[in-house]
Amino acid sequence: MKAFLAGCVAAVAIAVVAALVLGGLGMSSAEVFQAAQSVRL
Amino acid sequence: MEIRMRLTGICRGICGGICARVLGTALIGLAFLLIGGIADLGHWWTSQAAAQSGGSVRPPASANKWAPSRPGKISPQGGGDVQKGVGAGNLPKTTGPQQSQPRMWRDIRRGIQGKVSIPNQKAGYLIQSQGQMWRELRNTKVFKFGAWLLAGTVAVLFLFFIYRRRIPIDGGESGRTLERFNNLERFAHWLTATSFIILGLTGLAMLYGKAVLIPLIGKSGFASLMMLGKMAHNYLGFAFIVGIVLMAVIWLRQNLPDKYDIPWLLKGGGLITKGHPAARKFNFGQKMIFWSVVIIGGIISYTGVLLLFPESGSLIDMQSNQYWHAVLSLVMIAVIIAHIYIGSLGMKGAFQAMGSGHVDENWAKQHHSAWVDEVAGKDGKASAGGAAE
């Protein structure tokens, strides 16, 4: 049970870290389909 | 009593025969679907090569049914035939009959790239004909393949359950337990499992949501759900990657082939016939699941990460990645459904291995007798060593 809970918590933690890192690099999920390269200068 | 036993045997034989035939037919059907899909993929790549060499590229005849509806219809061959009616008022009135430009449209169909004033040069492609073929492939072949594969897997497991029922522990529980998986092993398993379940459900919602969920929860409900679903899918993918890397490191050595694999396979793992073949910590079936997760999961992870960054490859690369990501994910979902079944409902005593980490000694002797001998040998040596000290 503890291993299961630890697995769930770790999955969420890794997902949050990934979101923060990709968001910080300007590659967040919301941005990938409207990538900065497509924005008119 | 004897008649009853004989009748039970006959019934089991009939059920077994039906199961085997259904399974065989389902596997053959799925193989044809997969081969059909791969053949279409081959046609898709060929058309790409043809486009680059100046050959003809045409979208599939049924591709138009997936195209979004437009307020005004402009026919390239007809030279700007604007359909009057809803929405047509917004179009310039100068789009009347013009001279046909088949050469220009043929070049556009072949993927000629125009000039654009924005950094994203891919926007210079007016029409990517292979994209229509890819969409046709995804929305028909992959769609049907996945539906048949998942429904077939559930149906075969249901028939197997009717035939075999829950596999019991021979001789009942002994009351003595052995540690099968330690905390780290169970952590790696549950990290991978929980992330994969969310990834699988959100992925299925992406493929089948329009057909299944929109009629149930409406378009706005589906849009809200998929906003969250896409976020979860994109980011939980990294947890899945960490999980399979961890499992590969922990269990790689124990999942290499050994002398017990062939006899286990020949006896059907004791699932179809009576008698349980010997196995070490992982039997041949579990090894197949391990390698499926590592290899197929690895390819799914690789293509998934590439799909997160659409600027990293050409359009056709992204379409190819998406195709393999979807097909292999469907295969893996089917494998994991079978794994969940045999690890919970299908076999008494199996869930404890990943639940508490400890299994009953009789269960272990029944399914992993060679492993029990190894553990007993180690304990014996440890005891002997301890006694010597």
The pLDDT of residue B4 is 62
**The whole model's pTM is what?**
0.76
What percent of chain B lies above the pLDDT cut of 90? 50
Q: What is the mean pLDDT of chain A?
A: 76
Strand ranges, E, within B132-254: 177-179
Confidence of residue A11 (pLDDT cuts 50, 70, 90): very high
A21 interface with B at CB cutoff 8 Å: no
Percent of chain A surpassing pLDDT 90: 39
With cut-offs at 50, 70 and 90, classify the pLDDT of residue B18: low
At B83 the pLDDT is: 43
What integer pLDDT is reported at residue B363 of this predicted model?
93
CA–CA–CA angle B115, B116, B122 (5° rounding): 90
Task: Give chain A as a DSSP string.
Answer: -HHHHHHHHHHHHHHHHHHHHHHHTT--HHHHTT-GGGS--
Chain B residues 307-326 with CB within 8 Å of chain A: 308-311
Q: Which residue has the higher pLDDT, A33 or B312?
A: B312
| pLDDT tens digits, one per residue of B108-156 | 888 888 888 877 777 788 888 888 888 989 999 899 999 999 999 999 9
B231 touches chain A (CB under 8 A): yes
Return the higher-pLDDT residue of B290 and B105: B290
Q: What per-residue confidence (pLDDT) applies to B45?
A: 59
- Are the C-beta atoms of B212 and B253 separated by less than 8 Å? no
Per mean pLDDT, which range of B36-45, B63-72, B304-313 is the poorest? B63-72
Confidence of residue B91 (pLDDT cuts 50, 70, 90): low
Report d(CA B292, CA B271) in Å as an integer. 20
For residue range B297-307, what is the model confidence (pLDDT) as tens digits? 999 999 999 99
Share of chain A above pLDDT 70, in %: 61
Enumerate the domain spans of chain A: 2-38
Confidence of residue B29 (pLDDT cuts 50, 70, 90): low
Q: What is the pLDDT of residue B123?
A: 78
What's at B70, amino acid-wise?
R
The Cα B21–Cα B24 span in angstroms is 5
> What are the chain B neighbours of A15 within 8 Å (beta carbons)?
195, 232, 235-236, 238-239
- Among candidates A10, A38, A39 on the partner chain, residue whose Cβ is nearest the Cβ of B191: A10
pLDDT bucket at B328, cuts 50 / 70 / 90: very high
Q: What are the strands, taking DSSP E only, across B281-387?
A: 358-360
The pLDDT assigned to B197 comes to 97
Crossing angle of helices B315-343/B284-291, nearest 10°? Answer: 150
Q: Where are the domains of chain B?
A: 26-64+104-165
Q: Which residue of B has its CA nearest to A19?
A: B235
Average the pLDDT over B27-52 and give the result: 61
What's B141's DSSP letter? Answer: I
Report pLDDT digits (tens) over B190-224: 999 999 999 999 999 999 999 999 999 999 999 99
Whole-complex ipTM: 0.82
Q: What is the structure's pLDDT at B80?
A: 41
Nearest to B188 by CA among B235, B252, B234, B232: B252
What SS3 state is found at B48? Answer: helix
- Dist. CA A41–CA A36, nearest whole Å: 10
Average pLDDT over residues B61-83: 45
Give the percent of chain B with pLDDT over 70: 71
Distances (CA, A) of B70 to B91, B123, B166: 12, 20, 56
B239-257 mean pLDDT = 96
Output the pLDDT for position A35.
52
Q: Do A11 and B191 touch (CB under 8 A)?
A: yes
- CA dist B98 → B74, B82, B87, B88, B274 (Å): 11, 11, 21, 17, 78
Chain B contact present for A25, CB below 8 A: no
With bands split at pLDDT 50, 70 and 90, how would you rate the model's confidence at A24? confident
Q: Residue B168 to residues B9, B162, B342, B366, B381: CA-CA distances in angstroms?
A: 18, 14, 12, 10, 32
- Band (pLDDT 50/70/90 cuts) for residue B316 is confident
Cβ-Cβ contacts under 8 Å, A12 against chain B: 239
* CA B349/CA B169 separation, integer angstroms: 7
Average pLDDT over residues B322-338: 95
CB pairs under 8 A between A and B: 90
